[in-house]
Amino acid sequence: MQIGMMLSYAGGFREAAAEVEALEQAGVDLVVVPEAYSFDAVSQLGFLAARTERMRLVSGILQLYTRTPTLTAMTAAGLDFVSDGRFTLGIGASGPQAIEGFHGVPYDAPLGRTREVVEICRSVWRRERLEHAGKYYTIPLPADQGTGLGKPLKLINEPVRPDIPILIASLGPKSVEQTAEIADAWLPTLFHPERARDVWGDALDAGTARRDPSLAPLEIFATTALYIGDDVAAVLPTVKQQIALYVGGMGARGKNFYNTLVTGYGYGDVAATIQELFLAGRKEEAVAAVPDELALAMNLVGTPAQVAERVAAFGAAGVGVLAAAPLGRNADERLALMRGLRAIVG
């Protein structure tokens, strides 16, 4: 099992780079760089490529709607080049709050667009003359939709790798099924090791059955808060706050993927209560409504022995990468927590 750290949405590149250098020296395998509506992830990934030598660099995630598929492919090839083959392209649909609210682009057909983006990226990396006639993307543009001058082109540069790993962030059954079919890695959110198959088992099996034999087995990334120590009561509110935000506030009633997920775990009444409280503005009560057992099951929080037990549970559920968000107040505390996780995982 590999371990990685989720970087913060906020913060300076230079400070993050210094922290990531120390993480690399401590044996951390990878870092995941998010992209919400802060600084773009690509700039930071390029900066980190110059400051690291060994660790994997993962975008978590580049949003489908904000770049053309070919620009996504070019960007991934460039990041793989400057990192000497250490880049993993994490993509996802994000959500309408960011896509429509910040980018002003319609949030439509995430499933179909994801498949076509993956197809186009892989074609670009193989340096094929790009001809793609899909439902959502047509390359080159037909003459009756443009000037008629567009011709099939191929990437000028030779990529470091023609098979850059693609990680897809997905939650719904259809999107997880597609991920299991076409992606190299899967990034779920709010992963409950003991109950994940209750929600995603059929989808993963169906996608795997159609998986190209040339692809390696699907790598599962699990995002998790990290605290190793005795004062669990002091950090649980922070862990629950994140859960309440997703389950209660990431979407409207009836259109919240995370609420549906927690309901699938067997916490339907809890999920409904959290959402009602959160949307009513009673956020502290929503946080308090998150059960301890749920928060502890989905995260690495507790004594070394307790964290080791949860690491084993994640491993038994097929997780190959623990992408942790250490609950430290500064870089030194975060580094200490990641060192502790490294010692536990081995």
Give me the torsion for CA of 312, 317, 322, 325, rounded to 10°: -90
pLDDT of residue 32: 98
Evaluate if residue 312 carries a pLDDT over 90: yes
- Give the three-class secondary structure for 256: coil
Give me the torsion for CA of 292, 294, 298, 302, rounded to 10°: 20
Cα 81 from Cα 46, distance rounded (Å): 10
Spell out the domain ranges in the chain. 2-229+303-345, 232-301
* 258: nearest Cα among 40, 97, 41, 117: 97
CATH no. of 2-229+303-345: 3.20.20.30
Q: Are strands 56-59 and 87-92 parallel, antiparallel or unpaired?
A: parallel
CA distance readout (Å), 82 to 69, 142, 280, 322: 20, 34, 48, 25
pLDDT in tens, 222-234: 999 999 999 999 9
- Lowest model confidence (mean pLDDT) among 36-40, 184-188, 311-315, 338-342: 36-40
Mean pLDDT across 123-136: 98
Q: How many helices (H) and strands (E) does the chain have?
A: 14, 12
CA distance readout (Å), 1 to 66, 80, 204, 346: 32, 23, 20, 8
Under 8 Å between Cβ of 216 and 252? no
pLDDT of residue 255: 85
Evaluate if residue 11 carries a pLDDT over 80: no
Mean pLDDT across 182-205: 98
pLDDT of residue 254: 86
Cα 101 from Cα 96, distance rounded (Å): 7
SS3 content of the chain, % helix, strand, coil (to 5): 50, 15, 35
pLDDT of residue 249: 93
Residue type, 204: L
At residue 225, what are phi and psi to the nearest 5 degrees? -70, 155
| 207 C-beta neighbours (distance < 10 Å), count | 23
pLDDT of residue 87: 98
Mean pLDDT across 322-340: 97
Evaluate if residue 238 carries a pLDDT over 90: yes
Mean pLDDT across 76-104: 95
> H/E element holding 71?
helix 69-82
Mean pLDDT across 231-241: 97
| Mean model confidence pLDDT for the chain | 96
pLDDT of residue 290: 98
Mean pLDDT across 50-55: 97
Percent of the chain at pLDDT > 70 equals: 100
Evaluate if residue 208 carries a pLDDT over 90: yes
pLDDT of residue 97: 82
Evaluate if residue 345 carries a pLDDT over 80: yes
* 30: nearest Cα among 57, 1, 52: 57
